[in-house]
Chain A
Amino acid sequence: MTETLVGLIPQYGAALMFLVTFLSCLALPVPSSLMMLAGGAFAAGGDLSLATVGLSAYGGALSGDQVGFAIGRWGQRHIDALVARYPKRAALIERARAFSERWGGPGVYFSRWLVSPLGPYVNFLAGSARMPWARFTSWDVAGEATWVTLYVGLGFLFADQIGAVADIASNLSGALAAGLVTILIGRVLFRRKKGAAHV
């Protein structure tokens, strides 16, 4: 499926780039990083302009993030209802909010590109943790600019080796994201253990 999608880029350039980055920001399994690399490579060959590829990918990513954030906001009402019913969960949700309050901005920025597999979930979380919209959006605008510039730029510069760049970048990004999740869960596990000993 990926190859077919990539083959459609030269013909449906802008619309396809927009759609793919949009969907990937909502946690749908589309090969957005590879598509941006390929878009950059096609721009190097002269099939598309670099501006078309970059701006459409950027527009799709920003729109997708806004929708993800809105879904989080909307889901938040249900979380409030849940808290009312199960007060024990309140502490956990409060902790998630405190975490987002403290790390939210840089968290949004780095989850756009460095640990991009986590990006969609950060959107939902930021929305549901009531992060202020302007704060979310300003970090998001910077983060997606980094993401798009990085991948389209790599595709453009290493157009004749995008297979190599795609293989290395996707696995490295997966390793970083999984590593971060491991550390975060580990922290909760071991902090909880200490807390339990005191009680």
Chain B
Amino acid sequence: MRKLFHLFRAHPVLTPAFLLAAALTLLFTIRTVVFTIYWSNPAHKNQQIEPWMTPRYVAYSWDLPPEAVARALGLPEPDGPGPRLPRRSLQEISEQTGVPIAEMAARIEAAAESLREQPE
């Protein structure tokens, strides 16, 4: 403690900067370890449906066919071979259709569940 005090008197700017940097190093290291442990738990691997996601992203990350996602989100299935999903976030789609995100998430989970039960 006395050593630290002397260091502080000799370098009033660098000493606190050094301590702050050391504390930040410790903090970020702990956070890295905590997040690594958190995410390596299989229970946390399924990504929840979030407002920033797009229908295509949901189809990709949940491994669902685009038609199933379009149906679950109540999107019109456009003409032509295979529905083309809009390049919009779920947030925007929710604002347009009035369906809340939570409702969308429930429908997607239901769609994934039914596909798992009877694979096409």
B-binding residues in A (CB < 8 A): 3-4, 6-8, 10-11, 38, 41-42, 44-48, 159-161, 163-164, 167-168, 171-172, 174-175, 178-179, 181-182, 185-186, 188-189, 192-193, 196
Contacts and interface: CB of A to CB of B under 8 A. Distances in A.
Given A38-B52, A160-B60, A164-B39, A175 B87 contact: no
Interface residues of B, number: 39
Can you list the 7 inter-chain pairs with the closest CB atoms, starting with the nearest?
A175-B28, A7-B89, A160-B61, A164-B39, A7-B52, A45-B60, A178-B24
Contacts of B27: 178
B24 A10 contact: no
Contacts of B32: 168, 171-172, 175
B56 A46 contact: yes
Contact of B89 (A8, A172, A188): A8
Contact of B47 (A160, A186, A189): A160
Given A7-B51, A182-B18, A189-B14, A45 B56 contact: yes
A41 B57 contact: yes
A47 B57 CA distance: 8
